[in-house]
């Protein structure tokens, strides 16, 4: 057993449920009514028990492919936006029909990165969710794919769901997919790999076990589920990855049944949405290595990262990009928004170089691991 039991949700608790495209959409690119109806019946049963539910649903782009005559998920942004514009309304209409049969009202909320990183927009989104839940509605959240571009995208709905869990003050994040959970190794390569019932802390070995991208209809896969679980658990929210095809899966997990893989929340954590975005909103564009003195100044003394502590860089990035910060043993302990490009940092030679002072300001830096520095290969 892990360090705590799985949560058994009670009236007043909040649950974020995310479901992926592969679990909703048929091969023709249209949402299957039977799948939607099963999910909505499950959500209604949990809502009847007094548990407040927010649904983060993929499937809008996939639902728009067939009507537009697109053979598969396109690679270019305008085509994705066009598919979302068609599919979003179709998807919500099906949800609304299914929820109304249980006396519930669905409410659409479309978000972009700015709604999480901008303080006023964050408060507006939170207030809207709070009021909808108080009125008995089921908020249905998706990324605003019709206007989102690379600079303002979440990247996938798993990451969005984890940030919504923080925004809504949820107790648990449930990521429904077409897999039973996380296995000890990628089951596509190692069919006999056992299912992991619990993960106390996400380590590099856990991330490697997640494998690569999954279904052609979606943009995620198990790797994105692990990334979302990291976001949620980092901010103190438990996360579960489970199979959407399990009967009454939402009710059973809300009741504490050991389905799927449970990721324990890190105790004592409560990160703001802005700091979560710095840490997890975008993939890091590079890595900078610092000496032990710089690590101590950042982690222990809570100071900004200075140029004098930088010993090496890897990757190509611009000023303002997210980068990982690692110690001499190659252990990543922080992530932040860099003040200089990789080209500028490559000529840093301590305080004698052209880059001086702060490389990452303290307000733009998030500590991912505040434990003692350990040799490479030691589990975190």
- pLDDT tops 80 at residue 211: no
Residue 3 scores a pLDDT above 50: no
Q: How confident is the prediction for the chain on average, in pLDDT?
A: 84
Q: Is the pLDDT of residue 50 over 90?
A: yes
Q: Residues 182-201: what's their mean pLDDT?
A: 87
pLDDT above 50 (res 152): no
State the number of CA atoms in the 13 A half-sphere of 314 facing the CB. Answer: 9
Q: Is the pLDDT of residue 117 over 50?
A: yes
- Please determine, for residue 352, whether its predicted confidence score (pLDDT) is greater than 90: no
Nearest-angstrom CA–CA distance, 127 and 181: 33
- 119-134 and 273-280 helices, crossing angle to 10°: 110
DSSP H or E stretch at residue 175: strand 172-177
Q: Which of 108-117, 270-279, 335-344 has the lowest mean pLDDT?
A: 270-279
More confident call, 269 vs 51 = 51
CATH class of domain segment(s) 14-275: alpha beta
Q: 166 is written with which tokens?
A: 């923080």
pLDDT, position 231: 86
| Record: fold of 284-367 | 2.30.130
Domain residue limits, the chain: 14-275, 284-367
Q: Is the pLDDT of residue 147 over 60?
A: yes
The pLDDT confidence band at residue 18, using thresholds 50, 70 and 90, is very high
């Amino acid at each position: 057993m892990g360090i705590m039991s799985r949560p058994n949700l009670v009236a007043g608790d909040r649950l974020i449920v995310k479901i992926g495209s592969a679990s909703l959409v048929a091969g023709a690119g249209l949402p299957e009514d039977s799948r939607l109806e099963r999910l909505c019946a499950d959500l209604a049963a949990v809502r009847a028990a007094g548990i407040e539910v927010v649904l983060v649903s993929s499937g809008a782009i996939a639902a728009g492919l067939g009507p537009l005559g697109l053979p598969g998920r396109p690679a270019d942004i305008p085509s994705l936006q066009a598919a979302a514009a068609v599919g979003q309304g179709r998807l919500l209409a099906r949800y609304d029909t299914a929820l109304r049969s249980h006396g519930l009202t669905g409410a659409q909320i479309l978000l972009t990165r700015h709604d999480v990183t901008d303080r006023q927009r964050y408060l507006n989104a939170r207030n809207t969710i709070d009021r909808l839940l108080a009125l008995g509605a089921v908020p249905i959240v998706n990324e605003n794919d019709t206007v989102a571009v690379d600079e303002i995208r979440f990247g996938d709905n798993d990451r969005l769901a984890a940030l919504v869990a923080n925004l809504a003050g949820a107790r648990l994040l449930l990521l429904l997919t077409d897999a039973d959970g996380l296995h000890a190794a990628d089951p596509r390569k190692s069919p006999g790999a056992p299912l992991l019932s619990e993960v106390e802390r996400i380590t590099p070995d856990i991330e490697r076990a997640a494998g690569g991208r999954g279904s052609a209809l979606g943009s995620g896969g198990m790797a994105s589920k692990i990334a979302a679980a990291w976001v949620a658990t980092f901010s103190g929210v438990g996360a579960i990855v489970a199979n959407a095809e399990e009967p009454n899966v939402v009710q059973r997990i809300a009741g504490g049944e050991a389905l799927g893989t449970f990721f324990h929340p890190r105790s004592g954590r409560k990160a703001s949405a802005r700091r979560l975005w710095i840490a997890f909103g975008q993939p890091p564009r590079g890595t900078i290595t610092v000496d032990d003195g710089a690590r101590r100044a950042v982690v222990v003394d809570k100071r900004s990262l200075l140029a004098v502590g930088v010993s090496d860089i890897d990757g190509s990035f611009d000023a303002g990009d997210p980068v990982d910060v690692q110690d001499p043993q190659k252990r990543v302990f922080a992530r932040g928004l860099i003040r200089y490009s990789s080209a500028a940092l490559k000529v840093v030679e301590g305080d004698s170089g052209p880059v001086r002072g702060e490389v990452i300001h303290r307000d733009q830096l998030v500590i991912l691991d505040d434990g003692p520095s350990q040799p490479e290969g030691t589990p975190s």
